[in-house]
Amino acid sequence: MWPFARNTEMTINRIDDRFSVTGQIRPDQVARLAALGYTTIVCARPDHEEAGQPTFAEVAQEAQRHGIKAVHVPVSGMPSPEQQGRFRSAMAGCDGPALGYCRSGARAANLYAMLGR
């Protein structure tokens, strides 16, 4: 479907009961995320960062079909105060477990760590 299919399995790393992270997801993996109970997906990856990567809009459209809220907080480098605020707002609006993703999951984990829990 997408040329971005080198790794067909998601490796989800649970940080705590509220937040987990993974690398890039594909729209065809969203149904599994819904089955696992995720209510929010937060994408920390800019579109077109890598050739063939699904866009946020493609993932968000599939998330909506499965009743999952999708939020885009694209980060390159250190998150700005605005990006941190957008992430904080996204997490405040979660009504269940959230999954953050980017290329490797590191940026999403970094955003979560900056919440200062």
**Residue 17 located in a structural domain:** yes
Task: Report the sign of the C-alpha dihedral through residues 57, 77, 89, 17, in that order.
Answer: positive
Percentage of the residues of the chain whose pLDDT score is greater than 90:
87
Q: DSSP letter at 48?
A: T
CA angle (47 as vertex; 43, 48 as ends), nearest 5:
145
- At 23, give phi and psi (nearest 5°): -75, -170
pTM for the complete prediction? 0.90
List pLDDT tens digits, range 3-54: 444 446 789 999 999 999 999 999 999 999 999 999 999 999 999 999 999 9
pLDDT at 117: 53
Are the CB atoms for 63 and 70 separated by under 8 Å?
yes
- Rounded distance, CA 87 to CA 79, Å? 10
Q: Which residue range forms the structural domain that includes residue 54?
A: 13-113
Q: In this predicted model, which residue has the larger pLDDT, 4 or 95?
A: 95
CATH number of the domain encompassing residue 92: 3.90.190.10
Return mean pLDDT, the chain: 92
